[in-house]
Amino acid sequence: MKAPRVTLDQWRTLQAVVDQGGFAQAAEVLHRSQSSVSYTVARMQEQLGVPLLRIDGRKAVLTEAGEVLLRRSRQLVKQASQLEDLAHNMEQGWEAEVRLVVDAAYPNARLVRALTAFMPQSRGCRVRLREEVLSGVEDVLKEGTADLAISGLNIPGYLCTEMSTVEFVAVAHPDHPLHRLQRELSFQDLEGQMQVVIRDSGRQQPRDVGWLGAEQRWTVGSLATAASFVSSGLGFAWLPRHLIERELKDGLLKPLPLDQGGSRNTRYLLYSNKDKSLGPATQILAELIRRFDAAPLDAPFAAPPAPNGES
């Protein structure tokens, strides 16, 4: 890639000439001599090989090519400024990236609110979001490849903050044989039916959380796949209520009338990497996660405006 012939300073000078309406006005704003500003723009045109400005009376007016190039240059100068700001923030201890690993059963709606509120405060910090199932979150945290982790499991050796609970409901299609019994169901009724379970993404100590020892078991890779299977009449499963509200409303799923254990609540916990101190961006995101975790999912929420009025 060849080096650009025109510098950012030259693009800034051209922008000042256009925005201020002339060379003299631009020179005053830039605290430079008018001859220096005129030479900079003339040199730009020579380097680019196209005329950028024409003089109309006492005013500098963009040519058609100048309009196109100036429009593109504004984005270029803006990105350069953002890059310099990011470097400054990193020098002050601000992270370039926050790594967040989340159990797939945790409500996405809460995360969306927290991340939306984080954006205008992020100072260019990226968020790397990773979804895991059950002990997969623990593996990632212990590997040191996550700054924050949300899990429904107690992870030994780590301090945590308690968050909200997620209700898991035993469900099946309304035409499933279990519903056709038309009575309260027991553990023995479930044993003879196929259960759909979610594969634990952990590699160290994967767990069969929720499996009742049914003779037939189908293991799938995601909650969405499990919900799709069970909604189609294939087996029964315990699924997060917030993920299947539409299926329940549309009559594709129906809670099983179990004599006990038809629903269970899992408490989610927020962990942080214990081997490194939390940077300012990570602390802000952790606080926002806690704040929006405590807010009702149906509470009104407006995304904060983008900085500097950008859209």
Residue-wise pLDDT tens digits, 256-311: 999 888 889 999 999 999 888 888 899 999 999 999 998 877 777 665 555 544 43
The CA-based diameter of the chain, rounded to the nearest angstrom, is: 93
CA-nearest of 17, 39, 18 to 28 is 17
What sign for the dihedral angle of Cα 286, 288, 289, 294?
A: positive
Residues 6+ apart with CB under 8 A from 106: 150, 152, 166, 268
The secondary element (H helix, E strand) that includes residue 19 is: helix 8-20
pLDDT confidence of residue 303: 59
Q: Is 100 left (phi over 0), alpha (psi -120 to 50) or beta?
A: beta
CA distances from 72 to 34, 66, 67, 79 (A): 25, 10, 9, 11
CA-nearest of 252, 251, 217 to 237 is 217
Task: Name the average pLDDT for the chain.
Answer: 86
Whether residue 41 has pLDDT greater than 60 = yes
Better pLDDT: 131 or 216: 131
pLDDT confidence of residue 127: 95
Whether residue 74 has pLDDT greater than 70 = yes
Whether residue 9 has pLDDT greater than 50 = yes
Q: Categorize the per-residue pLDDT at 6 as very low, low, confident or very high, splitting at 50, 70 and 90.
A: confident
Q: In angstroms, how far is CA 111 from the centroid of its own chain?
A: 7
Tell if the pTM clears 0.85, that is, is over it: no
Percent of the chain, pLDDT > 90?
Answer: 44
What are 85-143's pLDDT values in tens digits? 667 655 566 788 999 999 999 999 999 999 999 999 888 888 999 999 988 999 999 99
CA-nearest of 72, 71, 52 to 62 is 52
What sign for the dihedral angle of Cα 91, 96, 98, 99?
A: negative
CA distances from 3 to 65, 77, 192 (A): 21, 16, 71
Q: Categorize the per-residue pLDDT at 214 as very low, low, confident or very high, splitting at 50, 70 and 90.
A: low
Phi and psi, residue 128, nearest 5°: -105, 105
For residues 211-240, give the mean pLDDT: 86
Better pLDDT: 147 or 210: 147
pLDDT confidence of residue 90: 58
Residues 6+ apart with CB under 8 A from 119: 304, 306
What is residue 301's DSSP assignment?
A: -
